[in-house]
Amino acid sequence: MWTYERRLQFPVKITNPNPKMAQLIISQFGGPDGELAASMRYLSQRYSVPYKEVAGLLTDIGTEELAHMEIISAIVYQLTKNLSLEEIKTGGFDAYYIDHTTALWPQAAGGIPFNACFFQSKGDVLTDLHEDLAAEQKARTTYDNILRLITDPEIVDPICFLRERELVHFQRFGEALVRVQERLDSKNFYAVNTELDKPLMKQ
Amino acid sequence: MNQDKCDSMKNLQAVSFVLDDLRLFLDTHPFEQEALAAYESFKKQRTQVLEEYEKNFGPILSYCVNEENQWTWVDSPWPWEGEV
């Protein structure tokens, strides 16, 4: 189960609303490389993983991604708080406003809705860890792209924090991959799926 | 907004983050003695900081809501509102 802590993992306090930025940053909520997809990816993959420390890592990173989703959501929420109709019209937020007013809804910057096809849960720990490594890099690139467009330090600080976490998660998934590879049969390295062909797994 | 509340929340966020980062490190380095010792030490710090915050500014965990005349869990601003 999960327990809610009444706090953000990193503080978000934004003074100046900016609906245009909200519409871009929302991609890290419900976009293809966003935090919702990240969390669902790891929390779905963990069940069939045959190595308990990899299942642990997927659980802990998947949980942290939920906290990141909350940070992104808080940024979007605060960037769109108390907007005037004029700001909605001129800020490029009008199309989103029609469907969701100023509520949070998981979508990409281009308006594409969240979709489970943004991630895989393949039932092969080698395949899944390679997907996870790629996912962390894609999310890092997205944060780099966001950082090129923003100057407000109140938005930059939490985005920088989230970007750095992508690097740490990439490092940890890399270590998990090495741990898995160490336990594979060297004569049948990539043909074995340890989640399906357990007898072939080197103990 | 209360400066003490902000500072107390920042302390809680900082000490909790150390544990969040160490937890992932220990998942892939379960025998690193230095990291294990650090986890133990920061765990104690977090217990103190958490108790301090909850005593002064209200619950962080619903399990820790103290018996009062009203249900304080839903009383103070939510984390996404940018109050602290």
Span A137-177, pLDDT tens digits = 999 999 999 999 999 999 999 999 999 999 999 999 999 99
- Cβ–Cβ gap B80/A73 under 8 Å: yes
From the CA of B24, how many Å to the nearest CA of chain A? 6
Neighbouring CB atoms inside 10 A of B59's CB total 19
Which among A5, A60, A74 has the least Cβ separation from residue B24? A60
- Cβ–Cβ gap A9/B13 under 8 Å: yes
Which has the closest alpha carbon to A116: A40, A191, A173? A40
Of A195 and B67, the one with more pLDDT: A195
From the CA of A75, how many Å to the nearest CA of chain B? 8
pLDDT one-digit tens code per residue, A97-116: 999 999 999 999 999 999 99
Listed by start position, the domains of chain A span 19-200
Report pLDDT for A202: 52
pLDDT one-digit tens code per residue, A118-132: 999 999 999 999 999
CA torsion A92-A97-A98-A99 (nearest 10°) is 120
Handedness of CA A28, A31, A34, A35 (dihedral sign): positive
Q: What is the CATH number of domain A19-200?
A: 1.20.1260.10
From the CA of B78, how many Å to the nearest CA of chain A? 7
- Cβ–Cβ gap B61/A6 under 8 Å: yes
The C-alpha R_g of chain B, in whole angstroms, comes to 15
Which among B16, B24, B59 has the least Cβ separation from residue A6? B59
Mutate to test the interface with A, among B1, B23, B28, B73 (most CBs of A within 10 A): B28
Report pLDDT for B1: 55
ipTM of the complex: 0.96
